[in-house]
Amino acid sequence: MADSIRVSNTSRVLPVPTSDDYHPPLLSLSFLDAFWTCIGPVQRLLFYRSEAPLASVVLSLKASLSVTLGTFYPLSGKLALSADSGELFIDCGAGGEDDGVEFTEAKTDENLERLVTDHAHHWETYKRLMPDMRIERLPAPLLAVKVTGFRGGFTVGVSVHHVAGDGNSFSRFVKAWAETCRSGGDAVVMREAVTFDRAVVWHPRNSDICRSYLDVWAPSRPTMTFHTFVKPTSEIARRTFIITTKMIQSLKRIATETSRNGDSTQTKKKPPSTFVAVAAHAWTCITRARATEDGVSTMFFMADCRSRVDPPIPQGFFGNCVKVCNTKSNAADLSVGEGHGFRFACDAIERTIKEETSEPFRGCEEWVQRLLAGLPDHGRIVNFAGSHRFGFYKADFGWGRPSRVEFVSMPNEGAVVMNDARDDEGGVQLSLALPPHDMEVFATMFLDGMDGLGSDGFKL
């Protein structure tokens, strides 16, 4: 299928000027932005069942994107390098011929349905449905879009440079774009005023910290170096699972149990969050699938710091406000049956969240060194990204909600991405990448662990 995708047009979409206050032409990076110069584009792919003509779809998407960029104006700019200071900044653009967002149009004669319904990812096809956003050398774009028409629908592939913003920020942009398109092109009044002011996450030594990060991540700038942090695996399977609200409630109940005496069950503390419950179950199943009971299992995840600093970061802040956390446990402890390994994982994740978010920015000067030091020698990690709170399934551009949403930029084994569930408010979609044998073992363990919780919830 990947070979049948034909590009028909490439253009640039510029922001429609707004009547808002003056927009600065340049944005300095915060240390939270600079931390993310080490990875490639973040890619999400949205699938829509529709019989609408592709030409009208493209026209509406481009017009509404232009309006939305008027509010989210830095996304139409570039990540650039100061020749004087060697620091990076966001050049918000001044109307040059290469400014704006590259918008690619493509089509294929293939049917969309198989891509929507298959549990397994058609990853090579997914990659062809994403825009070719090159960020290896500065100045580099921050956003690119590709729309591909199928029989029975279309896809919207959106790539963003992580330096521009985290998943919380990016999801608000996509949903604002969708609402603008659905409303016929009228600018959306945001629930919280959008601000790009990095002063709200500033640090007294911001410039020094940014430079220290960049000296590790990009010592040869303007040429950028990207890091995968894991050893390459020759063959990887990617698959999506849906965890229903009922399943999540059962996981939370199991997490609170301390012992069972006959029909009597003792419980402890309050139930874990949805993230902790789902992540703990996935972590234990991956560890067991890898058969690494004699070693240490390392899990990485992101903590949103917006509400965890004093004063809290405005909810309308667009930028990066997440930190990387990692927790390690003996694989043997995670592999114990009867729910004990699962509860052990819940406790480990909750303990790490508490430690890492009590003073979120403490020790930020050493974050890069801590990340590298936390990587296991064998290079096999479990790396969680995304969130069920982002709400990408709410992105209705006027042709209905997405039939499927996938995170494409998960090339390495051990990647796990959380989304909200399409048809179950409170449910979670979990997509992950593992070697084929490990994936089969994982699927069996993961589904067996949900036995009796409603296996029909795994239907897409």
Q: Average pLDDT for consecutive 10-residue bins of the chain (460 residues)?
A: 87 85 85 94 98 97 96 95 92 76 97 94 96 95 98 98 97 97 84 88 92 93 85 84 94 78 57 96 93 81 93 93 93 84 94 94 93 77 95 98 96 93 95 94 82 37
* CATH placement of domain 2-217: 3.30.559.10
What is d(CA 154, CA 399) in angstroms, rounded to the nearest whole number?
A: 10
The whole model's pTM is what?
Answer: 0.92
Distance between CA atoms of residues 16 and 63, nearest Å: 9
pLDDT the model gives residue 86: 87
Burial of 460: CB neighbours in 10 Å, binned 0-12, 13-18, 19+: middle
What is the amino acid identity at position 58?
Answer: V
pLDDT at residue number 453: 42
Q: Give me the residues paired with residue 433 across strands.
A: 238
Q: What does the pLDDT read at residue 294? A: 67
Determine the pLDDT at residue 457.
35
d(CA 207, CA 416): 33
Q: In what side-by-side order are the strands of the sheet with 237-243?
A: 237-243, 428-434, 415-420, 382-386, 296-304, 322-330
> CB-based burial of residue 373 (10 Å sphere; 0-12 exposed, 13-18 middle, 19+ buried)?
exposed
Buried b (16+ CB within 10 A) or exposed e, 149-172: bbebbbbbbbbbbbbbbbbbbbbb
The hierarchical CATH code for the domain 237-458 is 3.30.559.10
Task: Single out the residue of 87, 264, 64 nearest to residue 176, CA to CA.
Answer: 64
Q: Could you give phi then psi for residue 152, rounded to 5 degrees?
A: 90, 10
Which ranges of 290-382 does DSSP label H, i.e. alpha helix?
Answer: 331-334, 340-357, 367-373
Q: Collapsing DSSP states into helix, strand and coil, what is residue 32?
A: helix
CB 48 within 8 A of CB 156: yes
Q: Do domains 2-217 and 237-458 have the same CATH topology?
A: yes
What per-residue confidence (pLDDT) applies to 366? 94
Task: Count H helices and E strands in the chain, helices first.
Answer: 12, 18
Residue 51's Cβ-count burial label (10 Å; 0-12, 13-18, 19+) is: exposed
Which residue carries 């779809």 as its tokens? Answer: 57
Distance CA 298, CA 39 (A): 20
**Phi then psi dihedrals of residue 101, to 5 deg:** -105, 130
pLDDT given at position 322: 96
Packing angle of the helix pair 54-71, 167-182 (nearest 10 deg)? 120
Separation of CA 76 from chain center: 20
- Sketch the domain layout of the chain as residue ranges: 2-217, 237-458
